A and B are shown apart, each in its own frame.
Chain A
């Protein structure tokens, strides 16, 4: 089983993406997609030396909804900032010390930060302990950092690192 499905989550995602790409639920595509979804992870398994593990799917789903909602809010906030007086914006580079170590969790955190209010992740230092984030308008940087750590980093830590 382990040899046939080295990355079960990747298999599932590939299968769903194949069906969405073809926009159909015809039997032929379900079978073809299934075959591709099994073969591709086996052929690319050397790209994924470490196993990705998700220990709390419920928290992950909740996290996705939190992020979607925050993206909505982020858009409105950034739109307002863009239309406001550009000379009053106070951009800042925030150096955020990280608690998480798992590379997948860090990349998801960086992606989330880029999609949510007024922050874009810019750089990760070489030993993966500090994330550099650019804020468009930061009046209280420590509050922003605390919010990022509590709202996004804590659930990611639970999801990816407790197994």
Chain B
């Protein structure tokens, strides 16, 4: 494996870790339940995505055969993360969880 490629892989893994970390910071820092949902649903998708791309490249080159089952992790994550968030939000609305006072309601027009 060439040196440049290792730099690329390292870069991907670092980008992935940074976004996952930011997602976790969001989970810790944001003030109410609904806002905290945003961190893990989004920042972590790109984080995991970048790490998985690095994994695909590394194992494809190491085993001399295309390794694609990481794609499945991405697929399942993209399907389950929004559904999980949706159900948690629905449950939170149902039991009327506290929200930040400045949260406003806006009714959209067609």
Q: Interface residues, chain A, CB within 8 Å of chain B? A: 17, 20-23, 71-72, 74-75, 78-79, 81-83, 86, 89-97, 99, 110-111, 113-115, 118, 120-123, 132, 134, 136, 138, 141-142, 145
CA distance A83 to B19 in the complex (A): 11
- Return chain B residues, CB-CB under 8 Å to A93: 103-106
Q: How far is the CB of A118 from chain B (nearest CB, A)?
A: 7
Contact of A89 among B35, B37, B39, B82 (CB under 8 A): B35
Q: Are A142 and B90 in contact (CB under 8 A)?
A: no
A-B contact pairs, 7 of them (CB 8 A): A82-B23, A91-B35, A91-B103, A111-B78, A121-B85, A121-B89, A142-B108
Q: Are B34 and A78 in contact (CB under 8 A)?
A: no
- Return chain A residues, CB-CB under 8 Å to B103: 91-93
CA distance A111 to B92 in the complex (A): 18
Q: Interface residues, chain B, CB within 8 Å of chain A? A: 19, 22-23, 25-26, 29-32, 34-35, 37-39, 41-43, 45-47, 67-69, 71-72, 75, 78-79, 81-83, 85-86, 89-90, 92-93, 99-100, 102-110
Secondary structure at the B interface, as helix, strand, loop or mixed, is: helix
Given contact pairs A90-B102, A114-B82, A120-B89, enumerate 12 new A-B contacts (beta carbons under 8 Å).
Answer: A17-B75, A20-B69, A79-B19, A94-B106, A97-B110, A115-B41, A118-B38, A121-B89, A122-B90, A123-B86, A134-B34, A134-B35
| Contact A91/B100 with A78-B43, A138-B106 known, Cβ cut-off 8 Å | yes
| Contact A123/B93 with A20-B72, A82-B30, A111-B79 known, Cβ cut-off 8 Å | yes
Q: Are B69 and A99 in contact (CB under 8 A)?
A: no
Nearest 6 A/B pairs, CB to CB = A114-B82, A75-B46, A122-B89, A82-B26, A145-B108, A141-B106
Q: How far is the CB of A70 from chain B (nearest CB, A)?
A: 11
Q: How far is the CB of A30 from chain B (nearest CB, A)?
A: 15
Q: Are B37 and A96 in contact (CB under 8 A)?
A: no
